[in-house]
Amino acid sequence: MKVVKFGGSSLATGQQVNKVINIIQADSDRQVVVTSAPGKRFDKDIKVTDLLIQYATQVQQGADFQATVTAISQRYQEISDYFQLPDDTLTLINKKLAALATTKFADDEHLLAAFKAHGELLNAILIAAVLNHQGIPAKFVDPRVAGILVTGHPNDADVLSSTYANLAQIKPHNARLVFPGFFGYTPDGDIYTFARGGSDITGSILSRGMNADLYENFTDVDAIYAANNHVVDHPAIIQKMSYREMRELSYAGFSVFQDEAIIPAVQGQIPVNVKNTNNPSAPGTLIVPSQFVFNPATPITGIASSRRFSALYLHRYLLNKEVGFTLKLLQIFKRYNISYDHMPTGIDDLTVIFDRSKLDNATIKALCNDVHKTLDPDYLEWIDDYAIIMVVGEGIAHNIDTISKVIDALTQNNIAIHMINQGASQISIMLGVQSKDADNAVRYIYQTFFQPSEVTNS
């Protein structure tokens, strides 16, 4: 059995949904279908999830939301019209959409989560109806009924392990099962969504819980590339990669597959195949356990970069001899409920790297003041102009010269390296550079390991 998940662009229009129907029909093993909300139809378009966030904000502020509801409804209507569905499905969708405005929620966070989740919920209802209409028996499955249980934050949920036992109970049906992605229910019955892009997580959870042979993740690119194709011209396609390579690359900026989505698939040892809805015969990228991937001839699988990080730099003479310095620092982070991503240290220096998207300016200011007062460093700097380059490959640990080649690629092109971290993960080298240098850093490293003659500088 295969779990097939379709991203927002694959479900953005009737024409796209038609491709999805053909893909499902082409393989009788594609029994479990996971939907995203309709995504962008063109560059400047707004995703249904973002329209729902707008709807939620308008309801919270007591503003007029009618135009937003109409815009959301039209997205489903367009797909329904394409297949000439009878009216009842759209009537149901419109009813559920309108009911949101008068439903009571515990607080604004719960309200936002429930509104957002409706993008996928309504789409799963619609896609199940389209499949049936096209002669492919299908059944919409409510995550509450299936037992997809979550905890944590309403808009950044974690799956509860009891979910897997619940999903294992689902018996094979004589119909395709259509699940909405992106959300689950708390044991109290509240809707919590995963982080943005989280329909990938649902697909991964279902693959593990239902013990799929393969998790196919359909998106809008032929495969995952070794570098961002907006940065490097015609980057190489990654045919096969390991789970941990995917995890490191998606964490550091590869957006094809959601950052945390790989984890349930790894736990269940389910292979993942990223494929293109617009070109389904292309083999895509296969993501598998490490032992099936390592090739000593190619130490590097991919190079990612991300500007979503900031760094706190502290300098203090004899820091290495001082007992409890880092402990006090970590206690400050705990007080502010802040998690950090990396903490490379030197004898007198320490850099802490944070995910900037999780911090606001007021928190940063208060945090820096607190660090100053409590630790009295000789020098403290908050560095917003920070980018991380992640060079990833199962072969790194087996090739002693990889790091020197990476450093040469940058220094020979006058790119200053502010931080290097290798060793914590045996399969990646992380570098900190100034934001302005990030794209060129990727290009030069790519040139060194992939195709020396084809670098285009910006």
Output the smallest distance, CB 36 to ligand ASP, in A: 4
Output the smallest distance, CB 316 to ligand ASP, in A: 41
Of residues 254 and 386, the one with the C-beta less far from ligand ASP:
254
Residue numbers of the site for ligand ASP (CB under 6 A)? 8, 36-37, 47, 49, 119, 181-182, 196-200
First to last CA, the chain: 46
Of residues 44 and 321, the one with the C-beta less far from ligand ASP:
44
Cβ atoms within 10 Å, residue 278: 15
Compute the distance between CA of residue 393 and CA of residue 300 in angstroms, rounded to an integer: 4
Of residues 287 and 311, the one with the C-beta less far from ligand ASP:
287
Compute the distance between CA of residue 420 and CA of residue 432 in angstroms, rounded to an integer: 6
What is the maximum span of the chain, computed from C-alpha positions, in angstroms? 75
Strand runs (DSSP E) across 252-401, as ranges?
Answer: 272-276, 285-288, 302-306, 309-315, 349-355, 379-383, 387-392
Are the CB atoms for 433 and 416 separated by under 8 Å? yes
**Structure tokens that stand for 393 in this block:** 């490959």
Cβ atoms within 10 Å, residue 172: 9
Output the smallest distance, CB 217 to ligand ASP, in A: 10
Of residues 199 and 242, the one with the C-beta less far from ligand ASP:
199
Distance from CA of residue 423 to its chain's centroid? 25
Which residue has the CB atom at the shortest distance from ligand ASP? 199
Output the smallest distance, CB 278 to ligand ASP, in A: 17
Of residues 113 and 396, the one with the C-beta less far from ligand ASP:
113
Q: Tokens 């607190």 — which residue?
A: 370
Of residues 48 and 249, the one with the C-beta less far from ligand ASP:
48
3-state secondary structure of 430: strand
The dihedral built from the CA positions of residue 57, 104, 180 and 14, taken in this order, carries a sign that is negative
Of residues 119 and 268, the one with the C-beta less far from ligand ASP:
119
**Structure tokens that stand for 67 in this block:** 């135009």
435-446 as b/e, with b when 16 or more CB fall inside 10 Å? eebbbbbbbbbb
Of residues 36 and 422, the one with the C-beta less far from ligand ASP:
36
Output the smallest distance, CB 323 to ligand ASP, in A: 45
DSSP run (H or E) holding 362: helix 361-375
Output the smallest distance, CB 291 to ligand ASP, in A: 30
Of residues 20 and 430, the one with the C-beta less far from ligand ASP:
20
Tell me the CA distances in angstroms from 404 to 11, 410, 422, 427, one per residue in order: 45, 10, 12, 15
- Helix axis angle, 14-26 relative to 66-82, nearest 10°? 50
Of residues 36 and 351, the one with the C-beta less far from ligand ASP:
36
* Residues whose CB falls within 8 Å of the CB of residue 333, separated by 6 or more in sequence, listed in order: 339, 340, 367
Q: Side chain identity at 243, as an amino acid letter?
A: Y
Cβ atoms within 10 Å, residue 270: 25
Provide φ and ψ at 153, rounded to 5°: -95, 140
